[in-house]
Structure 1
């Protein structure tokens, strides 16, 4: 029975990866920018905002992979459910970002499969270490994502209310994920681990802005 359950989890994790990387994401909620008019941006502004949204999109790909890996190896069913719920909401974020990127005439990062694989491996290891550490990774990930989103809000053209609404809703969701993880007993990660996570995030940001 345990072997069957493990096989089922592996199949689900593989399916999640394929859908994240190659399927068109859908959102159960209305897109935050629905009903807002497309702003008048010059080509340089469009290129910059598209790059910021590409970073956010890849960040959500990484989060999806991280939580899928954690759900696979989580010891506790409640923790696995928490990871799966967070992953579902990240899928909505993927849909919002991808739609905005397309509207701006940009493209998603070609490096997404590489970042997905790396994040999935980290998530699987975190889950195997125990639920409190897995939740700690979730909390810290969401905090760092929230900081990135805040910096992106500062960089948006004033006229681009559509991108602003999307990022603000993402920011709200990420804060909720972090709080949920904390309430469920997330362990505080050691400073060296947080530092390494930050450096990996900076690498992702600097590469996906251009590629």
Structure 2
């Protein structure tokens, strides 16, 4: 792939991914090539490649003979996702805290924490969402498990969608930051039991924030894009 082609693909991918996450492309929306080429000022090829990449990652679904659609995710789906995340993140945090390089992992997490605080101060939820995913991804990678990483990575789109809603619960982000502090401190101390306990608490609290947000927004079964 040439540099120019890679750059165009990246531009198409980034724009479409952002549109799904910020609600510009709402759940259930059909995503077609021609309007996107006009909107983004790109040729059909990078747009088609970007759509295929987003479908592989779960940001879009492909319906035979109809094209791509933004997935509709129910409240029950999202809450089930958090149950899966709790189990996966608990295993990853335990292993990361027990790793020989646990202090280096904590150092990387601490750097991300600084950037997360800046995103919150700027009220940039989109940036915070990326940084939150990076925080958890570092823990997945720090686990050293060849199986944890692909399972967790397969949940990326759903993780971001769930975080998007839970982050909007009033007062959630400052609390989430302190939960991140507790997790990284346990990893820094090389304490697997405490790291697992804190990350389970963190994911559970995120799921409760999601439940509160959906209840207060009036969404009974289907999350609303705001």
Same fold (TM over 0.5): no
Quick check: which one's helix share is greater? 1
The TM-score with structure 1 as length reference comes to: 0.33
The TM-score with structure 2 as length reference comes to: 0.31
